[in-house]
Amino acid sequence: MDLTRRGFIKLTGASLATSSLSALGFGGSGAALAEAVRPFKLTHAKETRNTCTYCSVACGILIYTLGDGAKNARSDIIHIEGDPDHPVNRGTLCPKGSALLDIVHAPTRLQVPKYRAPGSSEFKEVSWDWALNRIARLMKDDRDKNFIAKNAQGTTVNRWLTTGMLAASASSSETSYLTWKVARSFGMLVFDNQARV
């Protein structure tokens, strides 16, 4: 330990730069000081119950948001932790669940619809309306051209095989049901989900 007198005096000098008088033990009103050191950050945050998005344990989570829901406050998620009431996780979370805040606020969260033209080496921003109109156009043209109403034996089969879909594994059952309705009403059969991987 390099405790030369010169070094020591300099260090005490630096310490005095921040708190000269408490140095001699005149201070020490501990509680008040400690409260100022680390205020509890969730005191008035709004709490919303949700389910972890990752695995099928389906841990209950509490999402804390800035703002009390007043009209002029835009809520922003500031913290997520386990729901202690949940019978399975009882408040615990794994390393993924404990870091949910970082997936919600990932810098690579997508913000706007983008389109990449054939042969292009970049995305460009487009409007929702443009994107959905274009998608519907491409899908309808493909369906009209390649829909199979009857097979070689003359059986009505009403299937569309040239456009397919993979469905999300973390979307709600309600989303899934709507997705099923839409995809099957088109006659889509190349239709799968993430159950396999």
Q: How far is the CB of 70 from other proteins (least distance, A)?
A: 14
Q: Which of residues 115-134 bind other proteins (CB under 8 A)?
A: 115-123, 128, 131-134
Pattern 15-54, binding to other proteins, x per CB under 8 A? xxxxxxxxxxx-xx-xxxxxx-xxxxxxx--x-xxxxxxx
Q: Which of residues 88-117 bind other proteins (CB under 8 A)?
A: 88-104, 106-117
Residue 65 found at the interface with other proteins (CB under 8 A): yes
Q: In this structure, what token pair is assigned to residue 125?
A: 């921003």
Q: In this structure, what token pair is assigned to residue 60?
A: 């209950």
Within 13 A of 5's CA, how many CA atoms are on the CB side?
0
Q: How far is the CB of 176 from other proteins (least distance, A)?
A: 4
Q: How far is the CB of 76 from other proteins (least distance, A)?
A: 6
Q: How far is the CB of 117 from other proteins (least distance, A)?
A: 7
Give me the long-range contacts of 88-94 (CB less than 8 A, separation at least 24).
88/57, 88/58, 88/59, 88/60, 89/57, 89/59, 89/60, 92/59, 93/52, 93/59, 93/61, 94/54, 94/55, 94/59
Q: How far is the CB of 46 from other proteins (least distance, A)?
A: 8
CA pair distance 97, 105, nearest whole angstrom: 14
Residue 73 found at the interface with other proteins (CB under 8 A): no
Exposure string over 35-71, b if 16+ CB within 10 A, otherwise e: eeeeeeeeeebbeeeeebbeeeeebbbbbbbeeeeee
Residue 70 found at the interface with other proteins (CB under 8 A): no
Closest to other proteins by CB, 71 vs 74, is 74
# residues contacting other proteins (CB under 8 A): 161
**Alpha-carbon torsion, ordered 71, 77, 81, 84, to 10 deg:** 20
Residue 161 found at the interface with other proteins (CB under 8 A): yes
Q: How far is the CB of 146 from other proteins (least distance, A)?
A: 7
Closest to 65 measured CA to CA, from 52, 74, 78:
78
Which member of 44, 71, 72, 144 binds other proteins (CB under 8 A)?
144
Which residue has tokens 């199979």? 148
Residue 174 found at the interface with other proteins (CB under 8 A): yes
Which member of 44, 71, 72, 189 binds other proteins (CB under 8 A)?
189
